[in-house]
Amino acid sequence: MADITDHHATATATHAEGQQHPLRLYLLVWGLLFVLSAMSYMVDYVGLQGLMRWSLIVIFMLLKAGLIMAVFMHMAWERLALVYTILLPPLAVLVFLAIMTVESDYTFLTRAAAFASP
């Protein structure tokens, strides 16, 4: 019983202090997201091509995603038990990505060999 009340007390206590973070941090992230979006748009506007284009697009994308998750979604202040639960499973997608890259290359080559147009 004492355990339950105590647990509840800690829960409400963290609630009260909860996810209260400095306004300046939010505004900074907000500004950064604008800048990063503008920069990824510029990559297209300027017309960069090839490796430069793809690497910049992915870098800006990951920076934006990281800022949103860490600060706006408060992931930076959550317990590791939750952080790992959410962030580790999507890594399986990378395996699927590798499989589908090989698979779609194979389809591409098969189509080329069979002279199929679509």
Partner 1 sequence: MAETILHAKRPEGIVADWSSDQRAFKRISWGKAMMWIFLLSDTFVFSIFLLGYMSARNSTQSEWPDTDKVFSLHVGGVELPLLLIAIMTFILISSSGTMAMAVRCGYARARRPTAALMALTALLGASFVGMQAFEWAKLISEGVRPWSNPFGAPQFGASFFMITGFHGTHVSFGVLFLIIIAAKIWRGEFDRPGRTWLKSGAGDYEAVEIMGLYWHFVDLVWVFIFAFFYLW
Of 9, 52, 55, 68, the residue at the interface with partner 1 (CB under 8 A) is 68
Does residue number 49 form part of the binding site for partner 1 (CB under 8 A)?
no
Q: Which residues contact 29 (CB under 8 A, 6 or more apart)?
A: 67, 68, 71, 72
Does residue number 50 form part of the binding site for partner 1 (CB under 8 A)?
no
CA distances from 99 to 48, 73, 81, 93 (A): 28, 31, 29, 10
Provide the minimum distance between the beta carbon of 15 and partner 1 in the complex, in angstroms, as a whole number: 7
Task: Establish how many alpha carbons lie within 13 A of residue 39's alpha carbon, considering only the half-sphere containing its beta carbon.
Answer: 15
DSSP-assigned letter for residue 70:
I
Q: Residues interacting with partner 1, by CB under 8 A? A: 2-3, 6-7, 10-11, 14-15, 18-21, 23, 26, 29-30, 33-34, 37, 40-41, 43-45, 53-54, 57-58, 60-61, 64-65, 68-69, 71-74, 78-82, 84-86, 89-90, 93, 96-97, 100-101, 103-105, 107-108, 111-112, 116-118
